Structure 1
Amino acid sequence: MNTKTTIPISEARKKIFKIAEESQKPGNYYTLTENGRPKAVIMSANDFDSWQETMEVIKEFPDLKKDIKETERAVRSGEHRSWVTLEDLLSKEGFVIADKSLKKYGISTKGKTKRAKRTKQTIKRRLL
């Protein structure tokens, strides 16, 4: 526990607005104690959402750390080059229309015409 942000609940009650403001800074949280034992934690809603998402990922992918290490090994060895890409897999299943044309799309400036230069005579003609 961080002693700077560990405070008794009775003290937190007096400073709740300051605690709420301070906890908005990334990584800041307060541990509230009762009789010297941790009872609750106050953190920003963004940090709380991040913690929840992390826990969901850990539950859904329990072997994630092992999978990452295997992938890093495959990248170092070059094995990953033989893997099927997502684009190929989706195309095979009919979800992606493969546009393999050689035509490049871009903006053409050929259709634009140049304006005539303004001279004193053309300005006089427009004014008359």
Structure 2
Amino acid sequence: MADRAAREHDHFTLTRNGRPHAVIVSVAEWESPQETLELLADPEMRADLVEAAAAEASGDVTTEEEMAAIMAARLGKASA
């Protein structure tokens, strides 16, 4: 069961007397929400996330193409 949970990123609920008692999950499945909770527990990080969401909502973002052009220009200047 543990091997399958790790291999397939699956989870299993163990019961006792027909009621959920424990859960077996892969390490990756466990770490992801733990990292999210750590980020949300940090007031500065929470503020950064709110700011980023507001920027995205207002369209104040850099597209992939724009970022590629910026990086190409920087790399060109660095090698010149």
Q: TM-score range by the shorter chain?
A: 0.5 to 0.7
- Runs of 4+ residues over 3 Å off in structure 1: 61-66
The one-letter code sitting in structure 2 at the alignment partner of 1:31 is T
Partner residue in 2 for 1:50: 32
The answer to whether structure 1 residue 69 and structure 2 residue 53 are counterparts is yes
Q: Is the 8 A contact 1:23 1:43 kept in 2?
A: yes
Instruction: Please tell me the residue identity of whatever aligns with 2:54.
Output: E
In structure 2, stretches of 5+ residues that fail to align are 63-76
1:123 alignment counterpart: none
RMSD of aligned alpha carbons:
2.9
Matched residue count: 63
- Where relative contact order (Cα < 8 A, 6+ residues apart) is larger, the structure is 2
Query: Larger % of helix: which?
Result: 2
CA gap 1:36/1:103 in 2 versus in 1, 3 angstroms: closer
Larger Rg: 1
Q: Which residue pairs with 1:89 in the alignment?
A: none
Alpha carbons of 1:64 and 1:42: their partners in 2 closer, same or farther (altered >3 Å)? farther
Q: Identify if the C-alpha distance between structure 1 residues 65 and 22 changes in structure 2 by more than 3 Å, giving closer, same or farther.
A: same
Query: Runs of 5+ in structure 1 lacking a partner?
Result: 1-18, 82-100, 105-128
C-alpha distance 73-35 of structure 1, shift in aligned 2 (>3 A)? same
Q: Which amino acid aligns with 2:24?
A: I
Identity of aligned residues (%): 29
| Equivalent-residue separation in structure 2 for 1:29 and 1:47 (angstroms) | 8
